[in-house]
C-alpha cells in the first residue's frame, strides 16, 4: 500500500479512454493543461479539445453551451479558479440549468504548498455542495480518480471533483475501484470503538491512524467518503450507532465540508454521538511545503490518533 501515483496523470489518461468511448465528449482547459494533464486528451483528440486561455468564467459558459448541444463537457483548471473565480457561471449556467458539465479540478487544498493562500482552495466543497443539482466528489486514491471520472461521464448532470497536486498513495486494487458507486462509502476497515470518515489525502492518514490505534487497544472503523454529495447516509448512521464516536478528517475548512454535512444529518436524526472534525480551522493558511502545512494545521495521523483517544477515554 506504499506505492504513490499522481492522480492528475490518471485523470489525463482516463480522459483519452473516455474520448474513445464517447465521441461526444469534449474537454476544456484554462491555459493549464500541462498541469491538469488534459493536454493528453488534446494530443489525441485536438478537434475536441478547447484551450480557453486565462478566462475561466468564459470556459464555464462555453462548457455549458457545449453541453446544451448534447456534449459531455469536462472542464479543468486549478480549484482556486473553479469554483473560486467562476461561481456565478457555475451557479447559473451549469447548476441552475442542470447541464451535463463535469468540473474536474486539480491543485486543491494545501497541495499547492509554496504558492500560498492565493492558490490554496480550502472552501470549494462548501461552495459546491450547497448548489442544487450538483454532485461533489473528492477521490481518495489515484486510480479511484480515474473511475470517478468514468462515473461522471456515465451519469448525466453537473458534477464537481477535486484532486491535489501531489502524488497519492495507492489504497485499492482494481476490483475494489470498479465496484464504487456514487453516494456509497467504501468501508476500508471495520471497528467498534470509533469511526473515522475521510476523503482525499486524509484517507491514507486515517488508515495509518487506525493501525496505530489498534496497537493501543482501540478499534477504529474507517470509511472512505469520496462521494460527498450525495454521501452515504446509511453507512454514517450505522457507524454512529455501532461505535458512538465519529471523527471526520478532511483537507478542507471545518466549515461547510463533509464534517458539516455529517453533523447536520446526525443532528436532524437525533443521534447522540461524540463528534469531532479535523480540518482547517477558520483561518487562511501560510506558505510552505505541502507536508509541512498538513502537519502544522493538524491534518495528520497523529491528530487523528489523539482525537480518537480523547473520544474513547472521555
List phi, psi (to 5°) of 10. Answer: -65, -40
How far does the chain reach from its first CA to its final CA, in angstroms?
A: 33
Q: How far apart are CA 112 and CA 304, in angstroms?
A: 23
Q: How far apart are CA 169 and CA 273, in angstroms?
A: 31
Q: How far apart are CA 144 and CA 139, in angstroms?
A: 6
Give catalytic status of residue 56 as yes or no.
Answer: yes
Which candidate, 63, 60, 15, places its Cα nearest to that of 37?
A: 15
Q: Yes or no: say if 252 and 160 are a contact pair by the CB < 8 Å rule.
A: no
Catalytic residue, candidates 2, 3, 13, 56: 56
Q: Yes or no: say if 152 and 67 are a contact pair by the CB < 8 Å rule.
A: no
Burial string for 63-93 (b: 16+ CB within 10 Å, else e) reads bbebbeeebbbbbbbbbbbbbbbbbebbbeb
Q: How far apart are CA 177 and CA 166, in angstroms?
A: 20
Residues near 132 by Cβ (< 8 Å), separated by ≥ 6?
Answer: 95, 96
Q: Which residues are catalytic?
A: 56
Amino acid at each position: 500500500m506504499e506505492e504513490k501515483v499522481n492522480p492528475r496523470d490518471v485523470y489525463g489518461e482516463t480522459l483519452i479512454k473516455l474520448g474513445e468511448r464517447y465521441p461526444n465528449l469534449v474537454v476544456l482547459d484554462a491555459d493549464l493543461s500541462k498541469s491538469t494533464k488534459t493536454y493528453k486528451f488534446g494530443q489525441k483528440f485536438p478537434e475536441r479539445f478547447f484551450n480557453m486561455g486565462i478566462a475561466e468564467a468564459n470556459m464555464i459558459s462555453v462548457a455549458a453551451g457545449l453541453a446544451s448541444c448534447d456534449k459531455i463537457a469536462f472542464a479543468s483548471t486549478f480549484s482556486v479558479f473553479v469554483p473560486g473565480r467562476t461561481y456565478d457561471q457555475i451557479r447559473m449556467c451549469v447548476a441552475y440549468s442542470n447541464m451535463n458539465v463535469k468540473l474536474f479540478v486539480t491543485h486543491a487544498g494545501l497541495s499547492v504548498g509554496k504558492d500560498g493562500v492565493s492558490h490554496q482552495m480550502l472552501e470549494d466543497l462548501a461552495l459546491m455542495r450547497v448548489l442544487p443539482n450538483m454532485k461533489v466528489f473528492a477521490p481518495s486514491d489515484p486510480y479511484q480518480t480515474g473511475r470517478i471520472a468514468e462515473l461522471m461521464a456515465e451519469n448525466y448532470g453537473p458534477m464537481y471533483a477535486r484532486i491535489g497536486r501531489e502524488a497519492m498513495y495507492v489504497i485499492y486494487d482494481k476490483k475494489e475501484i470498479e465496484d464504487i458507486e456514487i453516494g456509497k462509502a467504501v468501508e476500508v476497515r471495520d471497528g467498534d470503538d470509533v469511526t473515522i470518515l475521510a476523503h482525499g489525502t486524509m484517507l491514507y492518514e486515517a488508515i495509518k491512524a487506525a493501525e496505530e490505534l489498534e496497537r493501543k487497544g482501540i478499534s477504529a472503523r474507517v470509511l472512505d467518503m469520496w462521494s460527498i454529495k450525495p454521501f452515504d447516509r446509511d453507512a454514517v448512521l450505522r457507524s454512529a450507532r455501532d461505535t458512538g464516536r465519529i471523527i471526520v478528517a478532511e483537507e478542507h475548512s471545518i466549515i461547510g465540508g463533509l464534517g458539516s454535512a455529517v453533523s447536520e444529518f446526525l443532528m436532524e436524526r437525533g443521534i447522540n454521538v461524540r463528534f469531532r472534525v479535523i480540518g482547517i480551522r477558520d483561518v487562511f493558511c501560510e506558505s510552505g511545503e505541502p507536508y509541512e502545512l498538513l502537519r502544522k494545521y493538524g491534518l495528520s495521523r497523529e491528530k487523528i490518533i489523539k482525537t480518537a483517544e480523547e473520544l474513547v477515554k472521555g
